[in-house]
């Protein structure tokens, strides 16, 4: 434990995660902006830049929640494709275990004018409800940390991708800058739960968040897990000194 918070036992994790996202779904996007000072937008843009969407691609965005990655993917693919992209549009299947998050996502899609190209599916990252070799690309943003068994989710990602498909994970990671890591820890375990209490009325949800970040495998360990799942050419990039990281790998 850290700063006196207990770690979340494995058996309780799935229920805890469900309750957290049920409770924050409506405030989720606002909280993201507040807690990160808007920086999550820059990280998501970095993920999309590295992935470089193309017209005609079929992405599965796992733990896709309220649709941030999906919207950006579609918008970028349409932009790079120009007029030609209209006859060969990109598609995104958003898959999340939480129906409340998906409900908010659908509403936002309508608000942003995404009337086609999106499918919303309730499903578990560890047991994706899709046949082998379905997708050109797989993204999971701030999701893998919440999955009970991340290795299972990596294995199933590999299965669901087509040969030649690309896996990308954006996740909170481990700060690699001395002193800054201490400051960040203090922020995570004091300021963050306080903000959660004030804005979402749920302190425990944000204590869970801090603890789940602490327990998540460091950059090199996650890269090793990806290789174990079968991915090749595995690389990662640190964002904001390692507060977050993007991992990339290929099913070859």
Binding site for ligand SAM (CB under 6 A): 17, 21, 62-65, 68-69, 96-98, 101, 124-126, 141-143, 146-147
Smallest distance from the beta carbon of 147 to ligand SAM, in angstroms? 4
Residue 145: strand pairing partners: none
- Between residues 11 and 179, which has the closer beta carbon with respect to ligand SAM? 11
Which residue, 69 or 200, has its beta carbon nearer to ligand SAM? Answer: 69
What is the residue-wise DSSP string for 91-146? EEEEEES-HHHHHHHHHHHHHTT--SSEEEEE-BTTB-SS-TT-EEEEEEES-GGG
**Rounded to 5 degrees, what are φ and ψ at 251?**
-90, 105
Q: Which residue has the tokens 């977050």?
A: 244
Tell me if 31 sits within 8 A of 192, measured CB to CB.
no
Output the smallest distance, CB 212 to ligand SAM, in A: 10
* 72 or 91: CB nearest ligand SAM: 72
Bind-site residues for S-adenosyl-L-methionine: 66, 96, 124-125
Strand-pairing partners, residue 236, are 247
67: alpha, beta or left? (left if phi > 0; alpha if psi -120 to 50): left
Q: How far is the CB of 84 from ligand SAM (least distance, A)?
A: 29
Residue 38 is classified by DSSP as T
Shortest distance in whole angstroms from residue 78 CB to ligand SAM:
20
Closer residue to ligand SAM, CB minimum distance, 110 or 252: 110
In the block, residue with structure tokens 């229920």: 15
The residue among 49 and 232 lying less far from ligand SAM, judged by its C-beta, is 49
Instruction: For the CB of residue 35, give the shortest distance to ligand SAM in the complex, in Å.
Output: 11
């Amino acid at each position: 434990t850290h700063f006196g918070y207990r770690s979340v036992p494995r058996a309780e994790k799935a229920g805890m995660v469900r309750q957290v996202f049920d409770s924050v779904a409506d405030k989720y996007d606002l909280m993201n902006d507040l807690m990160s000072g808007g920086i999550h937008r820059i990280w998501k843009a970095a993920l999309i830049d590295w992935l470089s969407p193309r017209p005609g691609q079929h992405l599965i965005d796992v733990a896709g929640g309220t649709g941030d990655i999906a919207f950006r993917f579609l918008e970028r693919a349409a932009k790079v494709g120009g007029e030609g992209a209209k006859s060969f549009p990109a598609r995104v299947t958003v898959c999340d275990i939480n129906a409340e998050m998906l409900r908010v996502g659908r509403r936002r899609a309508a608000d942003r004018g995404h009337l086609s190209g999106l499918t919303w599916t309730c499903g578990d990252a560890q047991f994706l409800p899709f046949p082998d070799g379905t997708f050109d690309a797989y993204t999971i943003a701030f999701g893998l940390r919440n999955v009970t068994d991340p290795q299972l989710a990596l294995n199933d990602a590999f299965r669901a991708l087509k040969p030649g498909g690309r896996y990308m994970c954006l996740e909170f990671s481990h700060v690699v800058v001395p002193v800054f890591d201490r400051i960040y820890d203090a922020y995570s375990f004091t300021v963050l739960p306080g903000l959660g209490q004030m804005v979402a009325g749920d302190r425990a949800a944000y204590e869970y968040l801090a603890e789940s970040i602490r327990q998540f495998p460091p950059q090199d360990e996650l890269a090793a897990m990806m290789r174990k799942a079968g991915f090749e050419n595995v690389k990662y990039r640190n964002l904001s000194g390692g507060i977050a990281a993007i991992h990339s790998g290929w099913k070859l």
